[in-house]
A and B are shown apart, each in its own frame.
Chain A
Amino acid sequence: MTTATVATDHRLSDDQMASFVINGYHILKPDLRTGLNQEIYDALDAMSTNPGDGVLEAVPQLNQVWNSPEMVGALTSLLGPDYEMFPHRHCHRNAPGTPSQQIHQDNLNDLRIDGGQIRQPDRIDLILAMYYPQDVTSNMGPTLILPGTHVLQALPERMASQGNFRDQVIATVEAGSVVILHYDIWHAGTANTSKTVRYMLKFLFQRTSNPSVPSWNHDPSSDASIRRRLESENPMSMQRGLSAKQRHLRTRMWNRLAGDQALDLSYHDKWVGGSWN
């Protein structure tokens, strides 16, 4: 719906795409007009009840965030040129004193689907975009992300006792930032111990067609370095079996996205010429 206006230079680069495929998130800060974030914050703060899916109609200024060239470029890169905004969206109001959520994957609970949810760990079909109209410091309930977990399936009740993770990412951001997440990434809203209400607008965007060519700024000459990154980077420490599963699935994810410009995955000696270890 948005492709005609996409400026090529706002699409993600190969390295940015690889980072998303590896980490499962990307943070950007659109160049929004002065005062827009405060207008949105004030509009939300004036509401006496939760607008639910009607938040976009209640605060139409949000369209300026989602239609910004930076957002359109990033979403086009991740979901293809014909992506759509999903009908469900939610304004999370994190008031002072709100406790942390349990780390979880979101679940659409779609009653038309057996099990309520499709997890497709080698695809990017659905994106969570979280917009923050105010600065979010570490005591204001920032979103916690476990990088690289978007290709795994969480068991929230079994991991409820685990507490903090060594490699967790705390998304402290400036007002106007958008945290773009793979829908399946493990995450949590955290405790707000400040005196300020923290708003987060969660919108979903979905793919409508399978990729046949890269929809980002792709340069085939970077294929070798991208393959090295996909095969070696480790955004979060975990048991070796799960790390190997991650590396396998994210390489498949890249190749699904790249279509006919997929990486050549034939055997290569990745040790020759390197240091002894």
Chain B
Amino acid sequence: MPKLQRLLYINSESTHPQSAALSAAVYEPVAGSITQVDPTSEGLPYASVHAAMIDGWRVIQAPDVWAGIGTDDAGEVIGFQFILEKIEDFD
């Protein structure tokens, strides 16, 4: 069984890993898998990056402190993005 990488993107209220998660998306290493906004979703999988770490996700990218601030000419991004991974067995 190959070990493959799952990705979890969490945008947080600040660069602090324990700040509230504002958005989240899981990317599965499965052919045909689509990650998109889901109108039937009942909330985010984790309340914060820290909560995801406790569940075994490892942070592989912390947010650029300048990201998500927004400027008048460039536009805005909501939240500061962390990328996390889990390596798991997949059929």
Name the distance in Å between A94's Cβ and chain B's nearest Cβ. 11
Known: A163-B35, A239-B69. 19 other contacts (CB 8 A): A138-B39, A155-B74, A163-B25, A164-B25, A165-B23, A166-B23, A168-B37, A188-B37, A193-B40, A238-B13, A238-B22, A238-B78, A239-B14, A239-B68, A239-B78, A239-B79, A240-B14, A241-B70, A242-B78
A–B Cβ pairs within 8 angstroms, 9 of them: A99-B34, A153-B70, A155-B77, A159-B78, A163-B38, A164-B38, A170-B39, A191-B36, A239-B69
In angstroms, Cα B79 to Cα A155, docked, is: 13
Q: Which residues of B contact A (CB under 8 A)?
A: 9, 11, 13-14, 20-26, 34-41, 43-44, 68-70, 74-81
Contacts of B41 in A (CB 8 A): 164
- Cβ contacts A134-163/B at 8 Å (1 or 0 each): 000011011010100100111100110111
In angstroms, Cα B37 to Cα A190, docked, is: 7
| A139 touching B40 in the complex, CB below 8 Å, given contacts A165-B22, A241-B70 | yes
Q: Please classify how large the interface on chain A is, using the bins under 10, 10 to 19, 20 to 34, 35 or more.
A: 35 or more
| A99 touching B9 in the complex, CB below 8 Å, given contacts A154-B76, A158-B77 | no
Residue of B13, B23, B39, B69 touching A162 (CB-CB under 8 A): B23
Q: Is A208 an interface residue (CB 8 A)?
A: no
In angstroms, Cα B75 to Cα A245, docked, is: 12
In angstroms, Cα B69 to Cα A166, docked, is: 19
Q: When the two chains form their complex, are residues B37 and A103 in contact, meaning their CB atoms are under 8 A apart?
A: yes
Q: When the two chains form their complex, are residues A190 and B69 in contact, meaning their CB atoms are under 8 A apart?
A: no
Name the distance in Å between B67's Cβ and chain A's nearest Cβ. 9
Contacts of A99 in B (CB 8 A): 34, 36
Closest to A143 in B: B39
How many interface contacts (CB-CB < 8 Å) are there between A and B? 106
| A237 touching B22 in the complex, CB below 8 Å, given contacts A159-B77, A161-B9, A242-B76 | yes
4 smallest beta-carbon distances between A and B, as pairs: A163-B25, A153-B75, A100-B36, A190-B39
Q: When the two chains form their complex, are residues B44 and A237 in contact, meaning their CB atoms are under 8 A apart?
A: no
Q: When the two chains form their complex, are residues A162 and B79 in contact, meaning their CB atoms are under 8 A apart?
A: yes
In angstroms, Cα B14 to Cα A141, docked, is: 31
Name the distance in Å between B64's Cβ and chain A's nearest Cβ. 12
Name the distance in Å between B23's Cβ and chain A's nearest Cβ. 4
In angstroms, Cα B76 to Cα A103, docked, is: 13
In angstroms, Cα B9 to Cα A159, docked, is: 11
Name the distance in Å between A265's Cβ and chain B's nearest Cβ. 21
In angstroms, Cα B56 to Cα A256, docked, is: 51
Q: Give the interface centre of B23, B37, B81 by most chain A CB atoms within 10 Å.
A: B37
Name the distance in Å between A252's Cβ and chain B's nearest Cβ. 14
Contacts of A245 in B (CB 8 A): 70
Q: When the two chains form their complex, are residues A164 and B76 in contact, meaning their CB atoms are under 8 A apart?
A: no
Q: When the two chains form their complex, are residues B39 and A166 in contact, meaning their CB atoms are under 8 A apart?
A: no
In angstroms, Cα B38 to Cα A100, docked, is: 8
Contacts of A170 in B (CB 8 A): 39
Complex interface residues of chain A between 158 and 186 (CB less than 8 A to chain B): 158-159, 161-168, 170, 172
Q: When the two chains form their complex, are residues B40 and A138 in contact, meaning their CB atoms are under 8 A apart?
A: yes
